Amino acid sequence: MISCKLMDMSWIKQGCKWGYRTLLLLVLLYPAYAQSHPHVWVDAALIIHRNDDGEISALEPVWIFDDLYTASLLPDLDQDQSGKVEKPELLTFAKEAVGNLQEWDYFLKVKREDAFALRYKKEIITDGTVLNDRLLLRFKLELEEPIKAGTAVRVQMYDPSYFIAIDFIDDKTVSYLPSSLSSCTHSVTHPDDYTENTTSLSDLVFSDEEVAENPDLGSIFAKTVEVRC
């Protein structure tokens, strides 16, 4: 059984001010519809940007939402009621959605072996498009101070409430820009690798109370990507 702590729900009340067009509207529904499984699924990848010295200068998550969520969201993004969601409308959504993720560190948990904390620049480059009937959202987080070459970085990407399930794409987990620089290495650790029992995490069932009370449920299911450039 998971050890749970009482969850502070004040952030949900604050979130009610955000409006329907933000990504985290779904999380606002979480208390009323707490389940032992997520409601939105995201296939994710990570682009590592490097400077001329080979240092990591930016992290760029790429999220591809499931087709059902995409179909339910797009009509609300069509602000001019033209019957088609145009690029400016997607860009507006992307900027608002990513801006609302700042309080949760953009659903990124990053650890560096040199123990320094990551600080992102305020200006964030965002993009949104629809690819094969699925919403693709990407956002580039520039680092205030680049990560020195040779430093290992461990990255997890998850929604703490597990309302949104974010899963790295196995064959396209990490890519690097520019590709002309010397190669980096990365490895992926699956959450099941940390468990000591024979029950896989995908088979675990949580009660509604456990889901509501655990403030970091998503971390249990998050893959860990370790990158070294």
pTM: 0.78
How far is residue 150 from each of residues 53, 57, 92, 112, 121, measured CA to CA in Å?
11, 13, 37, 11, 22
Q: Which amino acid is at 124?
A: I
- Segment 103-127 mean pLDDT: 92
What average pLDDT does range 201-212 have in this prediction? 55
Q: What's the pLDDT at 212?
A: 62
Domain boundaries, the chain: 10-228
What's the confidence (pLDDT) of residue 171?
81
Distances in whole angstroms, Cα of residue 70 to Cα of each of 80, 84, 154, 178: 18, 13, 30, 31
| pLDDT of 94 above 90 | yes
Percent of the chain's residues with pLDDT above 70: 73
Q: Which residue has the tokens 């893959």?
A: 223
Return the number of other C-beta atoms located less than 10 Å from residue 174's C-beta.
19
| Residue of 51, 47, 50 whose CA lies nearest to 59 | 47
